[in-house]
Each structure stands twice: as structure tokens, then as C-alpha cells.
């Protein structure tokens, strides 16, 4: 316990390596430490009641938007008004979901194709890059990582005009392949970082023995690194899928209507001075469902990506 806490303390303060050190650790170890901690101090009745009331109150506040979204999405348009805004509908009105789903079907398909293919490609490239940077440092590779990472912090407005021109000149503007390319390229910094931090934790001795056996670069990757990479692929996959599914700026500037992802469709639906809010609310739920389900069921992998990757913003 003590060793583990202190080890992590060494890296877990302040720098990028900070919290996501956990991302890089094999699952068992990262989970073990918090679980072993005991209650911090004796509980006095009143302190406990106060803290518990506070945390419950805050939880309710955080859940209010979900409540409002769900009840509004289930109301018939004529039932939505100021006086009853907080009241659930007497009879759920499911037609908004049918309509929103029908309207969103093509954009859902676009988002799915986009997110899955860009996630797979950027994860594979990130894995190879991370392997090279973590295990095969070359001259100048110390500078490579920060230079690569800069790419995930920049406001994308600062590359948007040349990107737009470039995609138009190579005939990729407006469609999904162009958008996939864009997401793969600008996904490389974060996937490279996540895999790099994971591979750094794999002891060099493991590779050393393989080298003595005559294995080389690709064989080490294929037979030693890759089989150990499953947790990293899960973290990176979840992170990239969520980010790309939720992305808006590239989607709104680089696609034609037929290939727009769901975020653009939702913004258009809600932005058109909507009078009735049942449809945008049902649309929000449909657009949010994939990433929220991932968060609920694979939360701990999501958080590992988040701590390293929310850097991305």
C-alpha cells in the first residue's frame, strides 16, 4: 500500500503524466489502492448527516437536466408550458422519439461509420507510435512527444482554413472519408500519448529477453506488446469513440448535409428557433445515448481516458 501510493505520488502531481498514470497501470494495481483505504475518520452523527444531505442535494442538482429532458421529451407539444414545466406528463407521448429517430437515422449512420472507422485507425497508429516512442527512442525522440501533443491542444480554428482548402483540392471535402481522415490525424496525439504511457510501464527486460532470442521490431510488437495491449486499446477506443461521436466543429464545417454526423443534425434541429421542445429533447437523448451507455457500463475505462484525455477538451 505504502509503496504503491508513493510510487504514484512521484508522477501524479501536476504534469500530464499525472492522473493518467492510472491509465497506464495494469488494471489490478490501479484499482487496489483506493479499495484498501479505510474510512478516514470517525463519524459524528451531525457531521455525517450534514455531509450526506449536501452530497444528495448536489446529486439532485446534477440530475435535474436529465429529469427535465426526459419529461419534456415525453410530452405532447401542446402540453409544454411554463406552469407545468417541472411536472411529468400524465400520459407519455412517444411520437417524438419515433419522429426524432426517423429524422436522425441517416445522421446516426454517418456518426457510427465515422466514429468506428476513425477510432480503429487512430488507435492502431497510436499503438505503433506509442511503441516506437516508449521502446525505440531515437535521436530527438524526447522532443517528439511534446511536439506531437501540441496538436491536441490547438484551437482547431487555427488549421481550419488550410484544412478546408486541402480537402477541397483533393476532392475529400463534404464526405465521410475526408472527415475520417481529419479525425484520424487529429486523434494521433492523444492515442499516441495514451499508448506511450501504457507501454512505458512494460518492463524493458521483457523485450530484452526477446531480443536475445533474435526477435526483432515487428515480432516484439506482434508477440509481446500487442497481447499486453488489450486494456490500452479499450481505454483508447472508448475515448476516441466518445470524442468523435461528440465532435462538432469539423462536422459542421467540413461535411455536406447528406454526410453530417448527428451533432450537426441536433444543433440544426434545436437551433431553428424551435417552438416545441419535445422533439429536440428526444433528439438529445438519442444523440447522447451511445456515449452515456459507454460511460455507465465502462465507466472506469472512460475515466482513465478522461484523466489523460480531457486534456484535449
Partner 1 sequence: MNSRSDRLAAILVILPSLLLLAVFVYGFIGQTLWVSLTDWGQGAGALALNPQIHWVGLENYKSLFTGFLDVRFRQDMVNMVFFTVLFVGASLLLGLLLAILIDQHLPGEGVFRTIFLYPMSLSLVVTGTIWRWMLQPQGGINALPTLFGLPASNFLWMSSRTQILQFNWQALPAYLCWAGVAVLAVAACVYLVKGRHKTAAFFAAPALLLLALVAWGPAGRAALLPYPETHGFNLALLGIVLAAVWQMSGYTMALYLAGLRTIPDELREAARVDGASPLQVYRYVELPLLAPITWSAVIILGHIALKIFDLVFAMAGPDNASTSVPAISMYLTTFRGNQFATGAAIAVVLLLMVAALIIPYLASLLRPGRAQ
Contacts of 238 (CB under 8 A, 6+ apart): 294, 298, 301, 302, 305
> Residue 74, interface with partner 1 (CB under 8 A)?
no
> Residue 5, interface with partner 1 (CB under 8 A)?
yes
Q: Which of residues 147-166 bind partner 1 (CB under 8 A)?
A: 147-151, 153-155, 157-163, 165-166
> Residue 200, interface with partner 1 (CB under 8 A)?
no
> Residue 226, interface with partner 1 (CB under 8 A)?
no
CB 283 within 8 A of CB 101: no
Of 91-99, 102-110, 215-223, 228-236, the segment contacting partner 1 by CB under 8 A is 215-223
Among 28, 82, 203, 297, contact with partner 1 (rule: CB under 8 A)? 82
> Residue 246, interface with partner 1 (CB under 8 A)?
yes
Taking the least distance from each CB to partner 1, the nearer of 233 and 263 is: 263
Q: How far is CA 40 from CA 1, 6, 31, 256, in A?
A: 15, 18, 18, 56
Tell me the closest approach of the beta carbon of residue 210 to partner 1, in angstroms: 10
Could you write out the DSSP letters of every residue in 88-116?
PPSS--THHHHHHHHHHHHHHHHHHHHHH
CB 133 within 8 A of CB 191: no
Match 452523527 to its residue by C-alpha cell: 45
Taking the least distance from each CB to partner 1, the nearer of 233 and 242 is: 242
Which cell numbers hold the place of 84? Answer: 407545468
- Euclidean distance between CA atoms 128 and 233, whole angstroms: 12
Among 85, 90, 206, 258, contact with partner 1 (rule: CB under 8 A)? 85
Q: What is the DSSP letter of 16?
A: T
Q: 108-127 mask for partner 1 (x: CB under 8 A)?
A: -----------------x--
Q: Which of residues 283-302 bind partner 1 (CB under 8 A)?
A: 283-284, 287-288, 291-292, 294-296, 299, 302
Amino acid at each position: 500500500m505504502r509503496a504503491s501510493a508513493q510510487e504514484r505520488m512521484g508522477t501524479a502531481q501536476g504534469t500530464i503524466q499525472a492522473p493518467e498514470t492510472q491509465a497506464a497501470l495494469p488494471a489490478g494495481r490501479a484499482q487496489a489502492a483506493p479499495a484498501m483505504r479505510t474510512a478516514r475518520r470517525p463519524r459524528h452523527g451531525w457531521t455525517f448527516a450534514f455531509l450526506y444531505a449536501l452530497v444528495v442535494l448536489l446529486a439532485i442538482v446534477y440530475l435535474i437536466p436529465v429529469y427535465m429532458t426526459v419529461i419534456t421529451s415525453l410530452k405532447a407539444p401542446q402540453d409544454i408550458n411554463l406552469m407545468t414545466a417541472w411536472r411529468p406528463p400524465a400520459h407519455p407521448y412517444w411520437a417524438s422519439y419515433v419522429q426524432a429517430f426517423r429524422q436522425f437515422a441517416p445522421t446516426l449512420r454517418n456518426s457510427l461509420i465515422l466514429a468506428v472507422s476513425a477510432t480503429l485507425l487512430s488507435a492502431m497508429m497510436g499503438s505503433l507510435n506509442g511503441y516506437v516512442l516508449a521502446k525505440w527512442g531515437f535521436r530527438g525522440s524526447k522532443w517528439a512527444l511534446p511536439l506531437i501533443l501540441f496538436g491536441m491542444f490547438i484551437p482547431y480554428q487555427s488549421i481550419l482554413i488550410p484544412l478546408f482548402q486541402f480537402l477541397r483540392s483533393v476532392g475529400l471535402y463534404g464526405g465521410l472519408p475526408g472527415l475520417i481522415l481529419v479525425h484520424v490525424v487529429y486523434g494521433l496525439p492523444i492515442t499516441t500519448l495514451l499508448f506511450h504511457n501504457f507501454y512505458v510501464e512494460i518492463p524493458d527486460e521483457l523485450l530484452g529477453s526477446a531480443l536475445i532470442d533474435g526477435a526483432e521490431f515487428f515480432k516484439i510488437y506482434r508477440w509481446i506488446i500487442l497481447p499486453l495491449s488489450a486494456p490500452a486499446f479499450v481505454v483508447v477506443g472508448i475515448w476516441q469513440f466518445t470524442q468523435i461521436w461528440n465532435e462538432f466543429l469539423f462536422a459542421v464545417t467540413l461535411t455536406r448535409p447528406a454526410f453530417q454526423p448527428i451533432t450537426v443534425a441536433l444543433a440544426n434541429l434545436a437551433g431553428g428557433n424551435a417552438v416545441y421542445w419535445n422533439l429536440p429533447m428526444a433528439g438529445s437523448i438519442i444523440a447522447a445515448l451511445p456515449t452515456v451507455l459507454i460511460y455507465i457500463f465502462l465507466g472506469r475505462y472512460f475515466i482513465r481516458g478522461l484523466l489523460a484525455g480531457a486534456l484535449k477538451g
